[in-house]
Structure 1
Amino acid sequence: MQTQASYTFSFLREHDVPALYDTFVAAFADYIIPIKVSRAEFAMKFKREGVEPSFCVGAFYGSQLVGFILTGLGEWQGVPTAYNAGTGVVPEHRGNQLTKQLYTFLLPKLRESGVEQCLLEVIKGNEAAFKVYRSIGFEEVRSLDCYRSPVGELLLPAEEPEPVVEIRKAAKGDWKTYSSFCGSSPSWQNSSEAFKRSPDQKMVLEAYAEEQVIGYVAFFPRTGSVAQLAVHPENRNQGIAKALLKEAIKQSQAPALMFLNVDQADARLATFLERIHVRHFLTQYEMLLRLQ
């Protein structure tokens, strides 16, 4: 435990999670895009993003939790990584450099544990957060775009793709094969590891032609969030991605389709989403801090 001014910093434990949820809700209520999650959704976020409570840091004012960093652990592009699944400070305690102090408290434990880098996303336009992360040593890696549209506004024509494909539910995703279809690396929360960890309802649909998988979509039917969508390079521009999304919509309960944190450099996917009227609503910077 460490004290600076009137704040105390400590790593959290499982019994702190209920208070952590309350602080999370208070911290993000006035965010650039207000975030509203239920306790059940908060628990699912922990699982999907690999959050480890004992690596989460809390800032306490007396006995009140007023700031935090949610830390997910795993590998990122083959390197042991700590992912920032959320940093928040309740409004009345902002302006006290708590984010910087939280990282000062967290980084030694990460280094001692063999973590080699820290990863996070920050919304473009959130200059205060961007400056804080830059001052800590984070560097911008890439830009990620977020898209969303009601399913009724999507342009998904009725004609069948050519060649004709069969859409099947995958009993177990062949992620090694899928990765060869992709034009970019998915973000942390859209990775195959995160998808497999998530306790939320999830589904993978595969497009088959002559008994060969030539495309797939991995998505969450409850929320309409698409984690991954890709088609074999030799089978693009044949209507296969549209056929996959049409079936995904049939299997979903959500009123809208979402693609969160799509690599901006993947121009082919961005063009496809715009063509079927999935609207861009947000850009984030993916940032990395190397510890070794």
Structure 2
Amino acid sequence: MVRGNYASTCIMLHFNTLENTPLPVICTVFNEAFSDYMVPIHLTMPLLEQKLQGENISLAHSLGAFDGASLVGLILHGTDDWRRPQLLYNGGTGVIPSHRGQRLVQQLYGRYIPQFKTQGVAQLLLEVISTNTPAIKAYRHCGFTQSRFFHCYKGQPAPQRVREDLTLRQDLLPDWPLLSSFGSQQPSWANSIASIQRESTDTATWLAYQQDTLVGFISIYRGTKRIRQLGVHPDHRRQGIASALLQHAVKEYHGPFSFVNITDDNKGLQAFLEKNGFTLTVQQYEMKLMC
């Protein structure tokens, strides 16, 4: 667990972790920091709580910049292990407009990365919109390097005829090790199996069977209609199974749907989404820092 309260070079500013900061304060500051963001983001308290759960955010590993008693900037960190993490995922970095231009992100990481390293953290991970040049420069200054390039989509698939010889069943406890072999890429943090399992009560996973053979699946976060994973067994691809799964999602949840963080080399999934009415909305870099 990371703790500490460090005086910074900026008068009245100090840094600390967020485990003693009330969630309503974090929610308010997050929304103010993202009020003029290039992609609109506004969290209610239920949405913040869902984010904390789904991304496994640890406030003891999340960082805050304070002006006196007021939180003015933050970095939310998810962990791969609650007690002794080896990987931290940046689930959101924000500074309120009145306190920008003071390199608070660099200062926060500069203070805490050495502590993270001594406590066993080996890697930090984040995602940043590809056109957010100031943020990319700040992260590079901290030591992050680009690892993957993501495409994010949103769309309303039009109804269409699909295969009728498939049986679709919802499964609350699917065989995730088996389903992981159906994917066409390594999922990003928020779409990972671990994240889906943490949010199992809010995520619907439908399996497609051809006779008695499991051939595909789709997993959707119901509240936001975000497709988290869509996979087809390698031996059964290009046979209309993904289309049948997507059309079933349209029937159950209507849409529109989003599907984020498709890797740049996953051309097949990109083409499938565009064919089915999805539009590219934003692109992101995944960036890593090895401690």
**TM above 0.5, one fold?**
yes
Q: What is the match of residue 244 of structure 2?
A: 243
SS in 1 for 2:202: coil
Structure 2 counterpart of 1:289, which letter? L
Distance in 2 of aligned mates of 1:110 and 1:251: 44
Match of 1:3 in 2: 7
Contact 2:151/2:282, CA 8 A, preserved across alignment: yes
Mapped partners of 1:132, 1:126: distance in 2? 10
Aligned AA for 1:81? Answer: L
String of CA shifts for 1:34-90, please: whole Å, max 9, x gaps. 201211001100000010011111100111100000010007xxx921000000000
User: What's the counterpart of residue 183 of structure 1?
Assistant: 184
Q: Does 1:268 align with 2:268?
A: yes
Per the alignment, residue 88 of structure 2 pairs with: 82
Question: Matches of 2:179 and 2:159 in 1, distance apart?
Answer: 23
- AA matched with 1:2: Y
Q: CA offset at residue 14 of structure 1?
A: 4.8
Aligned twin of 1:158: 161
1:233 aligned residue: 234
Verify the 8 A CA contact 2:54 2:190 in the aligned structure 1. yes
Matched, 1:134 2:117: no
2:209 aligns to what?
A: 208
Give the alignment's TM-score, normalised by structure 1: 0.93
Asked if the contact 1:83–1:118 (Cα under 8 Å) also holds between the matched residues in 2, the reply is: yes
SS at match of 1:55: coil
Q: Which amino acid aligns with 2:126?
A: L
Question: How many Å apart are 1:238 and its aligned residue?
Answer: 1.2
Q: 1:290 and 1:219, CA in 2 relative to 1: closer, same or farther beyond 3 A? A: same
- Alignment of 1:38 with 2:44, yes or no, is yes
Contact 1:221-1:251 within 8 A present in 2 as well: no
TM-score of the two chains, using structure 2 as the length reference: 0.93
In structure 1, the residue matched to 2:34 is: 28
Q: How many positions carry a matched residue from both structures? A: 282
Q: Distance in 2 between matches of 1:126 and 1:102?
A: 19
Identity of aligned residues (%): 34
Structure 1 position 196, deviation (Å): 0.9
List alignment gaps of at least 5 residues for structure 2: none
* Matches of 1:230 and 1:175, distance apart in 2: 12
Query: Does structure 2 retain, via aligned residues, the 8 Å contact 1:47–1:199?
Result: no
Does structure 2 retain, via aligned residues, the 8 Å contact 1:82–1:117? yes
Say whether residues 1:110 and 2:116 are aligned partners: yes
Select between 8-17 and 265-274 the one with higher mean Cα deviation. 8-17
Structure 1 position 256 matched with structure 2 position 256: yes
Q: Distance in 2 between the 1:94 and 1:199 partners? A: 38
Does structure 2 retain, via aligned residues, the 8 Å contact 1:156–1:276? no
Deviates more, 1:107-116 or 1:226-235: 107-116
Contact 2:146 2:285 in 1 (8 A): yes
Q: Which residue of the partner structure matches residue 284 of structure 2?
A: 284
Runs of 4+ with deviation above 3 angstroms: none
C-alpha separation between the residues in 1 aligned to 2:6 and 2:218? 46
Does structure 2 conserve the Cα–Cα contact (< 8 Å) formed by 1:170 and 1:206?
yes
SS in 2 for 1:180: helix
2:197 corresponding residue in structure 1: 196
Structure 2 partner of 1:101: 107
Offset of 1:112 from its aligned partner?
2.5
- How far apart, in 2, do the equivalents of 1:139 and 1:208 lie? 41
> Structure 1's 247 and 86: CA in aligned 2 closer, same or farther, altered over 3 A?
same
1:25 to 1:208, Cα distance in 2 relative to 1, 3 A: same
For residues 263 and 65 of structure 1, the distance between their equivalents in structure 2, rounded to whole angstroms, comes to 35
Unaligned runs of 5+ in 1: none
2:170 equivalent in structure 1: 169
Q: Give the drift of 1:12.
A: 1.3
SS in 1 for 2:60: helix
